[in-house]
Amino acid sequence: MPHAYDPQNIFARILRGEIPNKTVLETAHTLAFHDIQPQAPVHVLVIPKGAYASYDHFAAEASDAEIVDFNRAVAEVCRLTGVDLGEGGQGFRAITNAGAHGVQEVPHYHLHILGGRPLGRMLARADS
Ligand code: AMP
């Protein structure tokens, strides 16, 4: 089944300039901005400018140029926010949520870059 994309999602509106954002980095194919409800001292969202709903959509259908640009932007965001291990930072976590089981709230692919404090285990050891 083809991936669906809702052009009214909030990140699409940010990309159209309809809603402000606190930009960290903008490149040809990628935008990075601070999360509006940060869950760590560093909490930046990296999004492609293209209309991709989720990581699997992006990975399957984005052009090579978009994929390279996105990943280089992630590296630059890590450097700019001081979490980059190569720059002497203490590390970070990169998370993407997809769909209902991933508990994705905004249906435009985004990578969360979290850092600035120890982040604990990736997932709680829930029994359920
Ligand atoms: P997810 O659950 O992975 O879809 O995460 C969506 C994220 O988008 C949440 O961390 C929200 O705090 C964040 N968010 C929602 N609206 C905005 C906005 N206008 N600017 C920045 N971040 C936002």
Strand partners, 78: none
Pair 91, 83: CB distance under 8 Å: yes
Lining ligand 1 with CB less than 6 A are: 10, 19, 21, 35-37, 45, 97, 103-106
Instruction: Kindly report, residue by residue over 9-36, the tens digit of the pLDDT.
Output: 999 999 999 999 999 999 999 999 999 9
Pair 119, 40: CB distance under 8 Å: yes
CATH 3.30.428.10 is held by the domain 10-115: yes
Residue 110 designated active-site: yes
Whole-prediction pTM value?
Answer: 0.96
Instruction: Kindly report, residue by residue over 39-51, the tens digit of the pLDDT.
Output: 999 999 999 999 9
